[in-house]
Structures are given as C-alpha cells and as structure tokens.
Structure 1
C-alpha cells in the first residue's frame, strides 16, 4: 500500500485504531478531521517513511500517533505533528528510538489540555509486546 492523503475525516468511539498506515515508503498526510473517545491509538503506523498529522482534533484518546514496535519487520519512521487540538489524552506520539524513529512537533501550534506527554519513547522489539521506557524523548520542534 502506498502513501495516501486523508482530508477532514472524523472518527467517533474508536476501539483499536482509527487509521492504520502500512506504506513501504513516501509520506502520508492526515489533514483536518479528528477523533474522539479513542480507547487506544488514533493513528497506527506499521509502515516506513513519514506520516504528517496537521490541523487535527483529538478528544479523550490514548495516543494520537503510535509507531508499531512489535512487528517482525521494523522500519525507521518519521512523524511530523502540527496544529493539534488535544484534550484528555495519554500522548501525542509514541516512537521507538531504537529503530531510528523521529517525532517532530510544531510546539507553538499545539493547543493541549490534560494530555500527559507530548512524546513517549518505547523499545521496539520483534518477540514480545514493546514496553514504555520513558517520556519526553525524541521531541524536536518543526521550524
């Protein structure tokens, strides 16, 4: 599956993930739209390349973006996050630095309320579910 663009798509009462991206290269863009009542992850990234999330609204969510860390084949993944309105969430991004993941944020454009972390770092593995190893890691500002 190649890169895609999603514009102004809304999700309500998300069980597992609202969006799963499995591209093997390139950049996918999620622009506008939002999700609410997401028990887990809103955007699950299982592919390679870049995912850009811009002008998105998330309300009562686990993670806005999660770089899958327990697949047999792993990739370096990049996410670019800007202009987010978020409330009552765990993290904007969960990445696996040991796989080379990078998350960049336009921190000046974020409007957050009761969001625990901007970025959580996990150790991606291929033999068991990955685990949280820290927060505030891998955060760099988009300029």
Structure 2
C-alpha cells in the first residue's frame, strides 16, 4: 500500500507524534515518556556504553646517546669518553676535521702534553742577530765573535721573547733558539718550569727590582748559554731552586758595570750544572753574596768568583777572588764538585 505525503501527515497528527529531543546516549530521537524510563527497560532497548578509559600518557622517546668517539667533539669531552674502552670509529672525510683530530691525538701522546694547552706561538717570526749567526754556514764563521757582538749590542727590551711586569709570573714555557734574550723582568717576578733550549746572550734578566724584593725561579733548565743565563741588574735577591744548566758560560752574574750599582744577593738550591765556566759572579765591592746548597757541579771551572764592580759602563770589572770565602761566596760540602 502506498501512502502519499498528505496521508502520512494526517496519520502523524492522529497518533499525536511530536518532535522530541535526541536521546543522550545514542543521539536517537525519543518520546517524552521515554525520558522517565531507565535505559534498561526502554522500548528502544538502549544498552549503556562502558566508560572510556583515559588516554595513556605519552612515554618520552628514549634519547639517542651522544656519539662517544666523534672527532669534532671538544677535546676535554673526547678525553673523558676515551677513558672507557670502545671500538674506534673512522674519522670523518673532511680534511680539516681529520687534521684537527690528528693534532689532538699527537698532543695527547706527546711527553709534554701537559704543557700543550698553555703553549702559544709568537704571532710572527722576529729577525734577530742570533738567527743570522747560529744558522749554518754563518755559525761556523761568526760563532767565535758572538760574545763580543752581543756585548756591543747589549741586549735590550726589543730582543726579549717575554716581558713580565712587577709581581707577574711565567710558567710552563719552552723558549726555543733564534732569540737573543728570553725573558725580561721589570720587578719581582716568578718563573716556574721554564726551559731555554738554546740561550744566546741572556736567558733571564732582572731589569728593575727594589731592595727587599725577591725574584724566584722554580724548576726549569737552560742549555747552550754563550754568555749568561741570569743577568741581575736591579737590586734585591734572586732565588733559584731545582734548576738544570748545561753547556754555559755563566749561570748568574751581578751586573758588573751598570750605571747605578746595588747590593745584590743570589741564592740557589738543588742545582745540577754541567760543562760551564762559572756558576756565580758577584761584586764583593758592593756587598754582593752568593749562597749555593745541595748542588751537583760537573765540568765547571769555578763555582763562585768575586769582582770589583764599577758604575762606569766603559770599564770592565776586575776579578779579586774565587772559591768559598764564607762572606761573599758561601757554599759547603753539600755542593759536590767533580
């Protein structure tokens, strides 16, 4: 049987069907009477839906561990990672990274690797007199004249590799050849673990120092000094401990003819000296003193020599004594001379 639209409308009015709100459970249209009936006895037989479980919190994704042997990591991190055994990875193909890695590994394997972080090269090479004289073939011809030439040139601040102000310090440094004067001190300074591989005129010069002040040299060594290792121009005291010197002319020299002369004192303990001419040269005429203890001296002509100094720069001092005199040159049986 077919019904027209008019018939359906009349039938709906006869049955009294009215629009009803949607059912809260499933969104279906329901009658008013169904609102008072429980869902279990509803004519629509609605079934309660189980409560939805709350969504599980998202677990953080495990972070990928940092590469352990990646060459572009900073060197301190690489050293820390290298403490644990691990398979060695290949270097990156970039030539610059490969070069940096090789340099870092070389510094770690070098005996002086502790000094590598503190080592700094000069910004530019400096042409000095010793560079001309000590390079073959000039070294064979002019080397005998070098002491006279450096005395005529008489050094100067321009020939120093390092200049230290009053109260400053210098440590863990290796000063190579081709320099005239290694370190200049403009007051009371401290040197610790400083090495001179080839001294030209002076390794260390105390230019200015007041009375009562002391300059200290703690450990270190000097080799091939054609003139002096330590030149003392100021006043006060120079103290050296645990030092090694080899192939030298003079280890310590109180200025012999400075324009202004002072009383100076030299103290050294734990010296190892080999193949030299003079350990200490002092001016007894100005009250200088040299005290040497606990030292080993081999192949050295004189341990201590006293001079009559002068304040006339054009004159040379006159030697007036040598050896232990108990007043100016002071050392005992703990200084072994062979």
The TM-score with structure 1 as length reference comes to 0.93
**Residue 100 (structure 1) aligns with:** 287
**Residue 330 (structure 2) aligns with:** 140
Tell me how far 1:72 sits from its aligned partner: 1.2
Tell me how far 1:129 sits from its aligned partner: 2.0
Whether the 8 Å CA contact 2:306–2:320 is kept in 1: the answer is: yes
The structure richer in strand per residue is 1
From the CA coordinates, give the structure whose radius of gyration is larger. 2
* Structure 1 residue ranges without an equivalent (≥5): none
Q: Which of 8, 14, 24 matches 2:210?
A: 24
**Residue 15 (structure 1) aligns with:** 200
Tell me how far 1:134 sits from its aligned partner: 2.5
Query: Superposition RMSD on alpha carbons, in Å?
Result: 1.6
Q: Which of 50, 53, 62 matches 2:240?
A: 53
Tell me how far 1:55 sits from its aligned partner: 0.5
1:35-73 CA distances to partner (integer Å, 9 max, x unpaired)?
000011100000000000110000000111000020110
Tell me how far 1:20 sits from its aligned partner: 0.1
**Residue 81 (structure 1) aligns with:** 268
- Cα distance in 2 for residues equivalent to 1:35 and 1:131: 27
* Structure 2 residue ranges without an equivalent (≥5): 1-185, 333-338
**Residue 188 (structure 2) aligns with:** 3
Are 1:63 and 2:242 an aligned pair? no
- Cα distance in 1 for residues equivalent to 2:228 and 2:311: 20
- Cα distance in 2 for residues equivalent to 1:80 and 1:64: 12
Query: Hey, which bits of structure 1, 4+ residues long, moved more than 6 A?
Result: none
Are 1:111 and 2:296 an aligned pair? yes
- Cα distance in 2 for residues equivalent to 1:3 and 1:39: 25
- Cα distance in 2 for residues equivalent to 1:100 and 1:70: 15
- Cα distance in 1 for residues equivalent to 2:226 and 2:187: 27
- Cα distance in 1 for residues equivalent to 2:248 and 2:331: 23
The structure richer in helix per residue is 2
Q: Which sits farther off after the overlay, 131-140 or 72-81?
A: 131-140
Whether the 8 Å CA contact 1:12–1:38 is kept in 2: the answer is: no
How many residues get paired?
141
